[in-house]
Amino acid sequence: MKILVTGGAGFIGSALIRHIIDSTADSVVNLDKLTYAGNLESLAEVSDSERYTFEHVDICDRAELDRVFDEHQPDAVMHLAAESHVDRSIDGPTAFIETNIVGTYTLLEAARQYWQSLNNNGKTAFRFHHISTDEVYGDLEGPEDLFTESTPYAPSSPYSASKASSDHLVRAWQRTYGLPVLITNCSNNYGPYHFPEKLIPLIILNALEGKPLPIYGKGDQIRDWLYVEDHARALYKVVAEGQVGETYNIGGHNEKRNIEVVHTLCDLLDELRPVGANSFAQHLTSYKDLITHVQDRPGHDLRYAIDASKIQRDLGWTPEETFETGIRKTVEWYLNNTEWIEHIKSGAYQQWLEKNYNHRAATP
């Protein structure tokens, strides 16, 4: 296949592209606007592949989308481009409405026009895979409850409401126009190359700099944690083998309270990079001494948990990493990739496009 991946310079998108290039014979067109969280350095190991192409395009730009479809003739679309940070959506929801709703609509229309132009075999083979989140389901009440593919939507934040809207648009484009779609809803991802605004990379990097480790409220919020490379395998499984019109929930089977996650990170850092080795650690005995409880965010959901039995039953996917193995790999990756981290903190990663691609465009 030739797969058009939107948002491929993001955390999950880059893991997906690395998986496709490294583990399949398929080719990828990475379409990304390169907002603050888009980082082409996360694709450095595959960017020289003849099966990889980058397009610097905003999914809200219909003319450019039409050009990309016409030029590259993809067999499938995997749509990951989205604004995804809850706190940012509370502070400024406009970008979430524009990208997650208007952008998804624009992409659907461009994909529909392209799909309708294909011959019968092309139409039958084409797939539009929309990647979403478990946050569209809202909050779980009972301690044994799980999100299933039929759980009613009840989003709590501007971010989750915008993703719920995009899910509804995708389903409507299948119901109304016959566009062959697939939807996946995933739990919290973690792993290498994660932009340090989310809990796990934020805690790791703050700890290494001796900064406070902020915990919302008591840290009792429960999330199901999914290693990003397991998620990438699941996404490819769905686009390659999933049943058109179906939704698949993808979870890691790892429910943890946020405070548990932070304690685990501190324990690993105490083992792998003892706090006493740092210049700021004169009065610290453990990274846990940096934990600081802060005021909770508005409308904070208490518990998410995924029932991933459908994708296991229908497609044979299960996560390979436990939380214990995945979180150790994650901490070790951050400790061993200081250059990537420094480029994030300095903003140098944003010059990667000019450094790595402008000269290539001029090369015969």
> Residues 57, 33: contact at Cβ < 8 Å?
yes
Report the C-alpha gap between 170 and 159 in whole angstroms. 17
Active site residues: 134-135, 159
> Residues 156, 136: contact at Cβ < 8 Å?
no
Beta-bridge partners for 78: 5, 129
What's the one-letter identity of residue 113?
Q
> Residues 41, 343: contact at Cβ < 8 Å?
yes
Report the C-alpha gap between 359 and 117 in whole angstroms. 34
> Residues 197, 37: contact at Cβ < 8 Å?
yes
Quote the DSSP letter at residue 90.
H
Report the C-alpha gap between 203 and 218 in whole angstroms. 16
Report the C-alpha gap between 164 and 155 in whole angstroms. 7
Report the C-alpha gap between 306 and 324 in whole angstroms. 18
